[in-house]
Amino acid sequence: MSLGALIYCFDSDQLQYHHTANFCIQQIKRNLRIPVTVVTNNHTANMILGADQIIRVENAMGNKRVYKGKQIAWYNLERAMAYDHSPYDTTVLLDADYFVYTDNLLAYVDSEREFLLHDRVHDLTNRDSFRYETKSMIPLVWATVTIFKKTPFVRKIFDMIQHIQQHYDYFCNLYRIDFRNFRNDYAFAIALHQLNGFTKQYFMPSAMAMLPMDTQIVKIDQNGLTFKHDKYINLISNQDVHVLDKEIPFNV
């Protein structure tokens, strides 16, 4: 049975996201020691380093998002195709800005669960920034890290995610979601709710560590990162982390 990681990376005029993806690939290889497949386009593919396989998607689906007060292009719609893009029997699907500093994710790949992701996050600045209970009628899940197996049920999940993506306005009205710009986290949450009904959905037991967008990354390397918020400087090591700042000063 094959195992590997899948990440998506598309540069835009505003963000050279391949720097982040290359660091993500390096950390996967260093700490998980599994092959990595990157889905990208021809332009960005020339800048990708260390991937075992590159899948090129021209005319990538995307939309706009607000980043640091500006509207930027954001290619976040291809993730719905992860089941088809992945060449692996078990896939560790990661955002390119999720940095692996441990081998903890390997504990989940042999689980009997077909589909796992986080339903809780921990704000490392201790501000509890990621609270969305009042933003919709459905609890948010986090598509940042998703471990899935190629089974008929998981095929249905991704088919449902694609359907939700095509009719996102309808589902926003149905679940009273405030985020009208397509967001994978809500698409994944809706798909699980639609397919599971009121049955038990299993999630990763730990909260995902996250650094908010207004956190300044002072230094980052293969062993950890230093971040600054307000007047405080902190160090992260031996902990996987999702970094929302898209302009990271890589020193590797």
Q: What is the pLDDT along the chain (252 residues), one digit of tens a residue?
A: 899 999 999 988 778 889 999 999 999 999 999 999 999 999 899 999 999 999 999 776 666 565 566 666 667 789 999 999 999 999 999 999 999 999 999 999 988 999 999 999 999 988 877 777 767 888 899 999 999 999 999 999 999 999 999 999 999 999 999 888 889 999 999 999 999 875 678 899 999 999 998 898 999 999 999 999 888 899 999 999 999 987 787 764
In a domain, 238, yes or no: no
- Residue the block writes with tokens 């009628």: 137
Look at the chain and report how many structural domains it folds into.
1
CA distance 188 to 165: 10
pTM of the predicted protein model? 0.92
By CB neighbour count within 10 A (0-12 exposed, 13-18 middle, 19+ buried), where does 252 fall?
Answer: exposed
The CATH code of the domain that includes 163 is: 3.90.550
C-alpha 132, offset from chain centre: 18
In a domain, 46, yes or no: yes
Host domain of residue 45? 3-213
In a domain, 37, yes or no: yes
pLDDT in tens, 170-188: 999 999 998 888 899 999 9
Reported as half-sphere exposure (CB side, CA atoms, 13 A), residue 109 has a value of 17
The DSSP H or E segment spanning 195 is helix 184-196
Asked whether the beta carbons of 111 and 90 are under 8 A apart, the reply is no
In a domain, 246, yes or no: no
Non-local (6+) Cβ contacts of 184 within 8 A are 76, 79, 80, 143, 161
In a domain, 251, yes or no: no
Non-local (6+) Cβ contacts of 49 within 8 A are 22, 25
In a domain, 227, yes or no: no
Alpha-carbon Rg of the chain, whole angstroms? 17
Reported as half-sphere exposure (CB side, CA atoms, 13 A), residue 65 has a value of 15
Q: In the prediction, which pLDDT does 252 show?
A: 44
In a domain, 12, yes or no: yes
pLDDT in tens, 109-135: 988 999 999 999 999 988 877 777 767
SS3 156: helix
In a domain, 219, yes or no: no
In the chain, % helix, strand, coil (3-state, to 5) comes to 25, 30, 45
